[in-house]
Amino acid sequence: MRKLTRESWINSSLVLLLALAPLCASLLDEPYYVNLASRVVIIAMAAVGLNLALGFGGLISFGHAAFFGLGGYVAGVAAYHAFDGSYFIGVIPGSDQMPVIWLVAVLVAGLAATFIGVISLRTQGVYFIMITLAFAQMIYYFAISFPTYGGEDGLSIYVRNSLFSLDTSDPLIFFGICFFSLMLSIFVTRRIMGSRFGAALTMARLNDIRLATSGVEPFPIRLTTFVLSAMITSGAGALFADLNGFVSPSMLSWHHSGELMVIVILGGVGRLFGPVAGAVVFVLLETFIGGFTQHWQFFLGLILLSVVLFANGGLIGLLAGRPRHD
Amino acid sequence: MKKFVSAGAFALMAATSMTALPAFAETKVGMITTLSGGGSHLGIDVRDGFMLAIEQSKSDVEVIIRDDARKPELAKSLANEMLQKEKVDILTGIIWSNLAMAVIPEVVRGGTVYLSPNAGPSALAGKLCNENYFNVAWQNNNLHEAMGAYMKKEGLKAPFIVAPNYPAGVDALTGFKSYFGEVEGELFTKLGQTDYAAEIAQIKASKADSVFFFLPGGMGISFMKQYGGAEVGLPVFGPAFSFDEVILGAVGDAAIGVKNTSQWAYDMDNAANVAFVKSFKEKYGRTPTLYASQGFDTANLMLSALAKAAPSDAEAFRAAMKAAEFESVRGAFKFGSNNHPIQNIYIREVVAGADGKPTNKLAGIAIENLQDAYVSECKM
Amino acid sequence: MNIALVLEQLLNGVQLGVMLFTMASGLTLVFGVMGLINLSHGSLYMMGAFICAYVAGITGSFWIGLLAGALGAGVMGAIIELVVIRRLYDRDHLDQVLATFALILIFSEGTSWIFGASPLWLDMPDLLSGSVSLPGGVTYPLYRLMIIGVGIVIAIGLYLLISRTRIGMRIRAGENDREMIGALGVNISALYTFVFAVGAVLAGLAGSLLGVLQSVQVGMGEPMLILAFVVIVIGGIGSIKGALVGALLVGVVDTLGRIFLPGLFSLVLDNADATSVGSALASMLIYLLMAVVLAVKPKGLFPANA
C-alpha cells in the first residue's frame, strides 16, 4: 500500500518482540513470563478497543472498565453455570466454550454500549467523560452488592474455558489465543479506519459540522464506533477472566478505566499500535518497580507525569515522530 | 531399643536447634500483602509480626515480600510470579477476602501450602476447603458470632446492626444474628462510605438498646467519630477490626467504653504473648495490633512445621502444620477438621490508657472454643 | 417515620451537599476559567485533612490546624499549578486527565511515605461538640450545623468575589474569552494561579472540616472527588450556581435514598431482599440521577456560557 514508515518499523518490531518473548520464556521453562505476556496482550487488546473510541473517534470514555468487566463477568457467569449445571435467570444454560462466551460477551457489551451510547453521546467533552464514568460506577456498585455472583469477592473460574480441542491451560497456547485476538482487533481497527466509515469518523472528530453539511449524520457514526470499541474491550475482558481464573468488581472500577486511558495515552493516542506499546510499558512498570519499593505507585506517577508533560504523542510518538495526517 | 532412643533424641535435638535442619535453608516463603494505599496498616502489621518471628527463630528461611496494593488482579499476577518464577514452597500474607478468593483456590489446588494470616472467607472454610489451606486467624464470621453470643449473654434485647453492603458485610450480620437472634433493625451502607449522619439518625430514632457494627478500616473510624459527636448514648459493640490500636489512635476518645471481640489482646497474660508484645514494641516502637499477632502466629506455626518436615514432603508437612504445635500468642490454638482454628474469642473494652490515649483492655471471654459454621460443608 | 426524623435526614442531606459544594466549587471554577479537568482535586482535599490533623496534633488547637490545612492546601495547589498544571491548559482533556491521574498516585503514595500508613487522629474542638435543639423537635450535632454555616458563607463569599470584585470581573472575562483578556493586558498566568489556589484552599478547608468527622487516611479524597464531579456535571460545568444546586441535590438524594429506599422496597419484597436490593439501588442512585439529568439536559442544569 505504501512504503514502510518509521512508525511501521516500530510497530513490526513491537509485535515481533511480543510474540518471541513468550516463546523464549516457554523454551526456558519460565511459564511466569508467558503468563505475564498474556496479561500484557490482553490489556493491550482492551486498550485497542478504547483507542478506537478515544483516539480515532475522539470520544473520551472514562468508563471502559465497565465493558472490560462485563466481558469478564460473561466468562465468569457462563463458567459458573456450566460448572454446577445451573441456569442463568433460570433459563439460559452455562457454557465453558470460549467461542460461545466471546460471542455472548461481545453481544452483551454491544447492547450495553448501545444503551449507554444513546444517552451519553448526546453530551460532549467533559460531560461525556463524566457520564461514561457514571454508568461504569452504576455497574460497579451493582456488581459489589449483588450477591449471586460473589459480590465484591468475585467469582472463580475453576477450569479454564476451552477452545475446540486446544489445551487452553497450557500457558503458551493460551498466549497464542490472546495474541491472535489482539492481532485480530488491531486488524479490525485498521480496516475500520481505512474504510469510508473511518474517514467519516475522523471527520466527525475533527469537524462534525463539516461532516453534517456533507450529508452524513455524526451521531450514528459515533454510536457505532462506541459500540464497536466496547465490543473489543469486552472480548479482552473475557480473556482476562480466563487468564486470572476469576472475575471481580475491581475489573469495573474507575481506577481500571483510568488505567486503560493511561495505557492508551502512554502508548500514543490514535496510533494503531499505541495501546500495545502502552500496555507493555505499563504492565512491566507495575511488575518490576513493585519489586523494588513499597512506594512504587509514587514512581509510577512520576513516570506517567513526565510522559504526558514531555512526550506528547506517547511512546510511539516519541519514537516515530508526528503522524503524517496531523 | 537404645538405638531407637538415640535416634529419637537426635530428631529432637535437630528440631530444637533450628538451623540444623535442611528444611529451613531450602524453604522459600512468598508473602503477598497490602503495603500501599488505603488499609495498608493491616498488611504492614502482618508483615512486621511475621518477620519478627522469622528473625527471632534465627532460621534462614527466605521470605519474598510483595505489595498487592489491594488489587485482586495484581495479587493474582504476583501469585503466579511467586509460584512460577520464584518457585516458593509456601505462600501467605493476603489481607482481604476478595483477594484471597482470587488467589487461594488455584494456589492450593496446585499443591502449594497457603497460610492465611488474616482473611477467612466462608467458601474456603466450607465448599472450597483444601488440605493445603490453613487459616491461622479466624473464619470471617467468628468475631461477629462471638459478639452475638456475648450480647445475648449480657441481656441486651434490641441491637441495631450495621455493615457495608458487600459479601463480608452480609456474612458479618448473618453471623451475628445466628448467635443473637432477631434484632431491632439492620442497615447496609455503601462500601467506602464516609458520611454516616443518616444511619446514626435512624439508630437514634429507633427503639434499639445497643449498636453493633462491622465497618472495617476508615469506614469504622468515620462511623465512630460521627457516632460520638451525635450523642446517641447507646452502648456500642463490634469486632476488633474497627478497634485495633492504630484505629483507636485515629478515633480518639469517642471509642472509650466500646466493647469488641478479638481472638487476641496485647495484655493477654501468657509467656509467649508477653515476650511477643515486648519484642514487637522494642523493634517497631508501637503496640502490636491483632494483625501483627496473626502474622507472628502464622510464622511460628510455619516454623514449627518446618522443624518437623520439609514442604517437599507434602504429606508430613501438612500433618505437622495440622498438629499446630507452637506457642501461640493467643494461648491455646488448634485446628478443626477444615484447617480453621477452634479458639476462644475474648471481649476487650476500650479504656483510657496510662498516657490518656484510648487502648484495649482484656475484659473476659465472649465464647469458648468457637468453631466456624461452615465446617460441615467441608469435605476433605 | 416521624416528621422530626425526616427533617433531620433532610438536614443531613443539606450538610453533605454543602461540603460537596465546597469541593465542587473549586473544581468547577478551575474548569470554567482554565478549561482544566483536575482529577487531583481530591488529593488537595486529602492534603488539607492531613496538614490540619498534623498541625492540630502539634499545637493542640483545631483552629490553627484548620487554618494550616486550608492554607497548606492552597500553597500546595499554587505549587502544582506552577510546576505542572500550567503546562496543561493548552492540552486536550485527555492529557489533563492523565497528568492529574498521575498526580493522584504521587500525592497518595507520597503522603503515606511521609505520614505513614496509619490514619491520623483529628478530633472535634470542645467548643463545637454536643448537639443543639432545633424547632420541630430535632436535636442536631452542633459541628454539622457549623459546617452548614461555613458552606453558606463560602457560597456567599464566592458570589461576592465573582460578581463584585475586580478579580471576579477578570474571572468572568476569562470564562468568556480567554485570548481577549490576555490581549487586554491582564496578567493571565497570575490570575490562573490565583484561581487554582482558591480552589485548593476550598478543597483543603473541606478536607480539614470533614477530617474531624472522617478517617484522615490516604485515599480519602477519591470518593469525594467522584461525588464532586457528579455534582458539577449535574449542575453544569463552570457554573458556581450549578455547583450549589447540584451539590444540594446530590447530598439530599444520596442521604434520603440510603435511608428510605430499603424501607420502600420492603413494601413489596420480604425484609432481607428489600434491604439488599434497596441498599444496592441506593449506592447507584446518584449516578442514576446524573444519567437522567444529562439525558434531559446534556449540558447540566445551569449550562455555563449559555
Task: Enumerate the residues of chain C whose CB falls inside 8 A of the CB of residue B44.
Answer: 117
- Three-class SS of residue A313? coil
Interface test with A, best of B40, B70, B97, B98 (most A CBs within 10 A): B98
Using the Cβ of B32 and the Cβ atoms of chain A, whether some distance falls under 8 Å is answered with no
Q: Where are the alpha helices (DSSP H) in chain B?
A: 2-16, 22-25, 40-57, 72-80, 97-109, 122-125, 142-153, 167-180, 197-205, 218-229, 245-251, 271-284, 290-306, 314-323
| 8 Å CB contact of C12 and B198 | yes
Chain A window 136-195: which residues touch C at a Cβ cutoff of 8 Å? Answer: 137-138, 141-142, 144-147
Of A154, A158, A240, the CB nearest to B101: A154
Q: Is C37 helix (H, G, I), strand (E, B) or coil?
A: coil
Which pairing describes strands B259-262 and B341-352: parallel, antiparallel, or unpaired? Answer: antiparallel
The x, y and z cell numbers of residue A223, run together, are 454510536
pLDDT of residue A26: 80
Q: How do the pLDDT tens digits run along chain A, 326 residues long?
A: 455 677 788 888 888 888 888 888 888 888 888 888 999 999 999 999 999 998 888 888 999 999 999 999 999 888 888 877 777 777 777 777 888 888 999 999 999 999 999 988 888 888 888 889 889 988 998 888 777 787 888 888 877 777 787 777 788 888 999 999 999 999 999 999 988 888 888 888 887 778 878 878 888 889 999 999 999 999 999 999 988 888 989 899 888 898 899 898 888 888 888 899 999 988 888 888 777 777 788 888 898 888 888 876 677 777 777 654 44
Shortest CA gap C185–chain B (Å): 45
For residue C95, what pLDDT is reported? 84
Q: What is the pLDDT at residue B17?
A: 45
A323 touches chain B (CB under 8 A): no
Rounded to two decimals, the ipTM of the complex is 0.84
Check CB contact under 8 Å for C103 and A301: yes
Q: Domain B2-139+269-342 maps to which CATH number in 3.30.1490.190, 3.40.50.720, 1.20.1600.10, 3.40.50.2300?
A: 3.40.50.2300
Predicted confidence at residue B5, as pLDDT, reads 44
- Selected residues 255-284 of chain A with any CB under 8 Å from a CB in chain C: 258, 261-262, 265-266, 269
Closest in A33, A153, A240 to B121, CB measured: A153
Q: Which of C2, C46, C213, C265 to mutate to test the interface with B (most CBs of B within 10 A)?
A: C213
Per the CB < 8 A criterion, the answer to whether C16 and B197 are in contact is yes
Number of H helices, E strands in chain C: 11, 2
- Which residues have C-beta within 8 Å of that of residue A206, sequence separation ≥ 6? none
The per-residue pLDDT for range A31-46, each reduced to its tens digit, is 888 888 999 999 999 9
Q: Is B370 helix (H, G, I), strand (E, B) or coil?
A: strand
Separation CA B39–CA B156 (nearest Å): 32
Break chain B into its structural domains and give their ranges: 2-139+269-342, 142-267+345-377
SS3 B264: coil
Which residue of A135, A137, A298 is in closest CB contact with C113? A298
Q: Which residues contact B98 (CB under 8 A, 6 or more apart)?
A: A152, A153, A154, A248, A250, B72, B167
Backbone conformation region of residue B252, classed left if phi is above 0, alpha if psi is from -120 to 50, else beta:
left
Q: Rounded to whole angstroms, how far apart are CA atoms A304 and C40? A: 14
Q: For residues B92, B93, B98 and B104, what is the CA-based torsion angle, rounded to 10 degrees?
A: -10
pLDDT in tens, C21-60: 999 998 988 888 888 888 899 999 999 999 999 999 899 8
Nearest to A152 among B35, B76, B166 (CB): B166
Answer for the pair A241, A71: CB distance below 8 angstroms, yes or no: yes
Which residue type, as a one-letter code, is found at position B290? Answer: L
Q: What are the backbone dihedrals phi and psi of residue B363, each rounded to the nearest 5 degrees, phi first?
A: -130, 10
The number of helix segments (H) and strand segments (E) in chain B equals 14, 13
Confirm whether C258 is domain-assigned. no
* CB count in 10 Å sphere of residue A20: 11
Choice between B340 and C177, residue whose per-residue pLDDT is larger: B340
Low-confidence ranges of chain B (pLDDT < 70): 1-25, 38
pLDDT in tens, B16-38: 444 445 566 678 999 999 987 76
- Helix axis angle, C188-211 to C3-34, nearest 10°: 160
Would you give the DSSP letter of residue A322?
S
- Dihedral pair phi/psi, residue B236, rounded to 5°: -110, 140
What is the span of the domain harbouring residue C190? Answer: 9-220
State the pTM of this model: 0.85
Give dist(CA B161, CA B180) in Å, integer: 11
Q: Which of these, A262, A270, A269, lies nearest to A303 by C-alpha position?
A: A262
What percent helix, strand, coil does chain A show, rounded to 5? 75, 5, 20
User: How far apart are the CA of C199 and the nearest CA of chain B, in angstroms?
Assistant: 22
Looking at residue B335, its pLDDT comes to: 93
The domain B142-267+345-377 having CATH identifier 3.40.50.2300: the answer here is yes
CA atoms within 13 A on the CB side of B203: 28
Residue C131 within any structural domain of the chain: yes
Q: Is residue C154 part of a domain?
A: yes
* Burial classification of residue B279, based on how many CB atoms lie within 10 Å of its CB (0-12 exposed, 13-18 middle, 19 or more buried): middle
Q: Which chains does chain B touch, 3 or more C-beta pairs < 8 A? A: A, C
Best A266, A289, A309 residue to mutate vs chain C (most C CBs within 10 Å): A309
Query: What SS3 state is found at B270?
Result: coil
Chains touching chain C, criterion 3+ CB pairs below 8 Å: A, B
Instruction: In whole angstroms, give the CA distance from residue C278 to residue C275.
Output: 5
pLDDT for position C1: 54
Q: What are the structural domain ranges in chain A? A: 31-252
User: Residue B293 has which C-alpha cell?
Assistant: 499477632
Among partner residues B202, B222, B252, which is closest to C214 by beta-carbon distance? Answer: B222
Of all residues in chain C, the percent with pLDDT exceeding 90 is 31
The answer to whether B348 and B361 are in contact (CB under 8 A) is yes
* Residue located via cell numbers 506528547: A312
The answer to whether residue C289 sits within a structural domain is no
Q: What is the DSSP letter of A250?
A: G
- Say which of A154, A158, A240 has its CB closest to residue B98: A154
